[in-house]
Amino acid sequence: MGRRFRVAFIFVAVAAIVGCARRPSVEEARAFLDQAEARLRALSEEASRAAWVQSTYITDDTEILAAKANQRLIEATVALVKQSRRFDGVNLPPELARKMKLLRLSLTLAAPSDPKESEELTRIAAAMEAAYGKGRSCPEGVTDPAKCLDINQVTRVMAESRKPDELLSVWRGWHAVGAPMRKDYQRFVDLANKGAREIGYADMGAMWRSKYDMPPDEFAREVDRLWDQVKPLYLSLHAYVRSRLREKYGEKVVPANGPIPAHLLGNMWAQSWENVYELVAPKDTGPAYDLTKILKARNTDARQMARYGEQFFTSLGLAPLPQTFWERSLFTKPRDREVVCHASAWNVDNVEDLRIKMCIEPTEEDFITIHHELGHNFYQRAYNKQPMLFRDSANDGFHEALGDTIALSITPEYLVKLGFLDKPGDPAKDTGLLLRRAMDKIAFLPFGLLIDQWRWKVFSGEIPPEKYNQTWWELRTKYQGVAPPVARSESDFDPGAKYHIPANVPYTRYFLAHVLQFQFHRALAREAGCKEPLHRCSIFGSKAAGQRLNAMMEMGMSRPWPEALKALTGEDRIDASAILEYFAPLMKWLDEQNQGKPVGW
Ligand code: X8Z
Ligand code: ZN
C-alpha cells in the first residue's frame, strides 16, 4: 500500500516537472466543472445587469460598461474552454461529458485571446446593438431627428398604411440604418471568426451549427429537409397573396409572376404578413374579429397585456411571475431616453429575476409577442434548478417555440372566455382564420431560414464583404420571393436593418421554432383532450397539458434535445407533419384559388 502510493506520488511529481500531463481523474473534472459553473454564473449575472442597463438606457457610458462586462464573460469562457482540453480523452460519466461539451458550445460570440482584440470585438458588438436601438427612419434628405420615425412608429406605418409611396419612404429610411454598420460588421466577422478558431471551430457559423446534438453538417441538412416539407405551402400562399395584392395595387406595382415588392407586406422585413390580411381576406369568409380593434376599444394598457399572458401560463398550473417581474420589466417605450425596443425576455440572476423588455402597443401582433416573451420567462424559471451549464432550453428552437405554442391557443373560444368576443364563430367558415395564421406562421418560414443561410456564408468567407448586400437580396428573392422596392447597392447594408444581425442573435432558432410549435401544440392539444381541428384547440386551463409542458421545460438542456421532444410529444424528430396538418384545409383552399394563376417567381 505504502509503496504503491510512493510510486504514484513520484509519477505525479515527475509529470509535473517535465510538464507532461498525467491523465486527470473524473473527480478533477468534476471539480473543474463545479468551479467553471460558479464562475460563469457570477460573470453572466454581471454581464446581464450591464446589458439590461445598456438596453434600457442607451448612452456612451452604458455601452462601454456593457461591453466590458461582456468581454469579461467571454474571456473567462474562452479560457475555461481551453483549460477543459486537458480532460480530453478522460472517460467521464455522461453528465460530466455533456457539461464539458456544452461549456465548449456556450458562447454565441467567441473572442480572440488577445485582450485588445476581445475589447475591440465586444465594443463593436455593443455599438452595433446601440446603433440599431437608436435607429430612425428619416424621409430622403431629412436630417432633423424630430421629423424621423422610431421603430414603433415605423412598425405602425408598415402595418397600417396602404399608400405605396409612404411605405416606400419609411422602408427606405429604415434600411438606411444599416449602411453605417457595414465596416463594423466586417471587422466583427473577422474578429469573431478568429475567436471561434481559437476554440476549435472552423468559423462562427460552424460553431453555431454545432449546438444541436448532431454533426453540424447533418443539422444543415435537417434544416433543408424541413424547408422542403413546408415549401409547397409557402409557394401557394405567396401566389395567392401576390395575386390579391396585384388587384389592390395594380399591375405596375405588383408583377404577375415575379417577386413581391418587399414594402407591401405589412412588415419592415416582409417576415410576417398578418397586417395585410384584410387586403387578401376571402370574400365570403372574412375575419370573425379584429383583435387590435378589440384591444384598443378596451383601452388595454401595456401591463394589462402582460397580465393576459401571465394568466394563460398560470391557467396551466404554473406559478405566477414573481413580484420583481412587475417592478423591473420595461413595458412601454420611455419618452425621454433611447432604449432597444426589440422585445426580449431575461433571467438576470439565472434564478428568478425574470423580466421582459418590450415597447408594448395594444395590437394583435404585440398580444402574441407577449406570450412569446413570457414563454421564455416561464421556461427560464422551470430549469433554474438545473446545474448552470444545463440552464437553457433543449435547443434554441425550443426556447423560441414555447411562448408561440401557447399563443396558438389564442382561439376564438379563448377570446370568448376573456370577454373579447361574444361568440366563437362558425368553425365551418374558418378559412379566414387559417389564412390569417398562415400570413404570420407560413410567411415567416423562408425568412427564418435565409438569415443564417446568409450569415453562415458570411462567416465562412463564401460571401465576401463586397457582396454582402447583393447576396442578401439574392437569398431574400430565392427563399421569400420578395424584391427590394428600390435599387440596392454595396453602399447599403440592409442586413444591418434587421435587429438580429447587429445584435448577433442566431436566427435558425426561429425557423425551427415555427415548425416545432405546431408539433408541441398538437401534442398538448391531445393531452388536453381536444378533439377539434388543431386550429380550434386551446389548452387554456388544462393542468394535464401544463404538467407535460413543465416536465419538458424542467429538463433544461440536461439531455439531448430529441429526448426533451420525446418527453413532450412522444416523437424524437423535428417534423413538419403537424404544421401541414394544421393548415391542410387552407392548403386545399389556396390551391383552388390559385387555379390558372402563376405560382413561384
Ligand atoms: O426576435 C424575436 C422575438 C424575441 S426572441 C421578439 N422574434 C423574431 C423576430 O422578431 O424577428 C420572434 C419571431 C422572429
Ligand atoms: Zn424569442
In this predicted model, what pLDDT tens digit does every residue of 438-468 receive, in sequence order? 999 999 999 999 999 999 999 999 999 999 9
CA angle (177, 180, 185) in 5-degree steps: 105
Residue 226 has what pLDDT?
98
Residue whose CA lies nearest to ligand 1 atom number 12: 510
Among 158, 400, 408, residue to substitute to test ligand 1 (most atoms within 8 Å of Cβ): 400
Residue whose CA lies nearest to ligand 1 atom number 14: 510
Q: Residue range 590-601: average pLDDT?
A: 97
Q: Contact, 86 vs 21, CB < 8 A?
A: yes
Q: Residue 533 — pLDDT band, cuts 50, 70, 90?
A: very high
> Where does residue 317 fall: left (phi above 0), alpha (psi -120 to 50 degrees), or beta otherwise?
left
Residue 7 has what pLDDT?
42
**Residue 260's beta-bridge partner residues?**
482
**397 CA → ligand 2 middle, Å:** 9
Residue 287 has what pLDDT?
56
| CB 503 less than 6 A from any atom of ligand 1 | no
Among 151, 341, 367, 372, residue to substitute to test ligand 1 (most atoms within 8 Å of Cβ): 372
Per-residue pLDDT for 428 more than 90? no
Residue 13 has what pLDDT?
46
Per-residue pLDDT for 385 more than 60? yes
Helix axis angle, 364-382 to 543-554, nearest 10°? 60
Q: What is the pLDDT of residues 157-173, one digit of tens each?
A: 999 999 999 999 999 99
Task: Give the Cβ contact number of residue 94 at 10 Å.
Answer: 8
Phi, psi values for residue 260, rounded to 5°: -80, 135
* pTM assigned to the model: 0.96
| CB 174 less than 6 A from any atom of ligand 1 | no
* CA nearest to 268, candidates 356, 380, 149, 359: 149
Q: Residue 22 — pLDDT band, cuts 50, 70, 90?
A: confident
Q: Which residue has the higher pLDDT, 207 or 15?
A: 207
Per-residue pLDDT for 403 more than 70? yes
| CB 583 less than 6 A from any atom of ligand 1 | no
Q: Residue range 51-60: average pLDDT?
A: 98
Per-residue pLDDT for 190 more than 80? yes
The grid coordinates of residue 51 equal: 446589458
**5 CA → ligand 2 middle, Å:** 55
**400 CA → ligand 1 middle, Å:** 8
Q: Contact, 462 vs 471, CB < 8 A?
A: no
Rounded distance between C-alpha atoms, residue 154 and residue 150, angstroms: 6
Q: What is the pLDDT of residues 224-279, one digit of tens each?
A: 999 999 999 999 999 999 999 999 999 999 999 999 999 999 999 999 999 999 99
Residue whose CA lies nearest to ligand 1 atom number 1: 343
Q: Contact, 312 vs 371, CB < 8 A?
A: yes
Q: Which atom of ligand 1 is nearest to the CA of 400?
A: 5
DSSP 370: H
Residue 16 has what pLDDT?
46
Residue 145 has what pLDDT?
85
Mean pLDDT of the chain, nearest integer: 95
| CB 517 less than 6 A from any atom of ligand 1 | no
Question: Percent of the chain, pLDDT > 70?
Answer: 96
Rounded distance between C-alpha atoms, residue 395 and residue 105, angstroms: 12
Rounded distance between C-alpha atoms, residue 139 and residue 523, angstroms: 48
Q: Residue 14 — pLDDT band, cuts 50, 70, 90?
A: very low
Among 356, 369, 444, 517, residue to substitute to test ligand 1 (most atoms within 8 Å of Cβ): 369
**372 CA → ligand 2 middle, Å:** 6
Look-up: residue for cell 516537472?
A: 17
Phi, psi values for residue 483, rounded to 5°: -130, 150
Per-residue pLDDT for 1 more than 60? no
Query: Which regions of 181-303 does DSSP assign to beta strands (E)?
Result: 260-261
Rounded distance between C-alpha atoms, residue 320 and residue 309, angstroms: 11
Q: Residue 599 — pLDDT band, cuts 50, 70, 90?
A: very high
* CA nearest to 499, candidates 294, 358, 307: 358
Q: Residue range 282-308: average pLDDT?
A: 90
User: Buried b vs exposed e over 423-435: b needs ≥16 C-beta within 10 Å?
Assistant: ebbeeeebbbbbb
| CB 510 less than 6 A from any atom of ligand 1 | yes
Rounded distance between C-alpha atoms, residue 587 and residue 492, angstroms: 37
Per-residue pLDDT for 17 more than 80? no
Rounded distance between C-alpha atoms, residue 196 and residue 211, angstroms: 14
**For residue 288, which amino acid is it?**
A
**Which of 4-13, 88-97, 555-564 shows the lowest mean pLDDT across its residues?**
4-13
User: Buried b vs exposed e over 280-303: b needs ≥16 C-beta within 10 Å?
Assistant: bbbeebeebbebbebbeeeebebe
Residue 3 has what pLDDT?
42
Residue 6 has what pLDDT?
43
For residue 369, give Cα distances in angstroms to 509, 522, 558: 16, 20, 27
| CB 106 less than 6 A from any atom of ligand 1 | no
Spell out the alpha helix ranges (H) of 461-542.
Answer: 468-475, 508-527
Rounded distance between C-alpha atoms, residue 559 and residue 258, angstroms: 46
Q: What is the pLDDT of residues 127-166, one digit of tens each?
A: 999 999 999 999 999 988 889 999 999 999 999 999 999 9
DSSP 149: B
Residue 12 has what pLDDT?
44
Q: Residue range 103-111: average pLDDT?
A: 97
Q: Contact, 137 vs 148, CB < 8 A?
A: yes
- Parallel, antiparallel or unpaired: strands 482-483 and 344-347: unpaired
Residue whose CA lies nearest to ligand 1 atom number 5: 344
Active site residues: 342-343, 372-373, 376, 400, 500, 510
Rounded distance between C-alpha atoms, residue 503 and residue 341, angstroms: 12
Rounded distance between C-alpha atoms, residue 120 and residue 334, angstroms: 30
Residue whose CA lies nearest to ligand 1 atom number 6: 343
Rounded distance between C-alpha atoms, residue 299 and residue 235, angstroms: 38
Q: Which residue has the higher pLDDT, 19 or 213?
A: 213
Per-residue pLDDT for 514 more than 50? yes
**27 CA → ligand 1 middle, Å:** 42
Q: Residue 11 — pLDDT band, cuts 50, 70, 90?
A: very low
**400 CA → ligand 2 middle, Å:** 5
Q: Which atom of ligand 1 is nearest to the CA of 271?
A: 11
Rounded distance between C-alpha atoms, residue 542 and residue 557, angstroms: 25
* CA nearest to 309, candidates 331, 288, 327, 289: 331
Among 361, 369, 510, 511, residue to substitute to test ligand 1 (most atoms within 8 Å of Cβ): 510
**For residue 563, which amino acid is it?**
E
Q: What is the pLDDT of residues 519-530, one digit of tens each?
A: 999 999 999 999
Q: Residue 20 — pLDDT band, cuts 50, 70, 90?
A: low
**427 CA → ligand 1 middle, Å:** 30
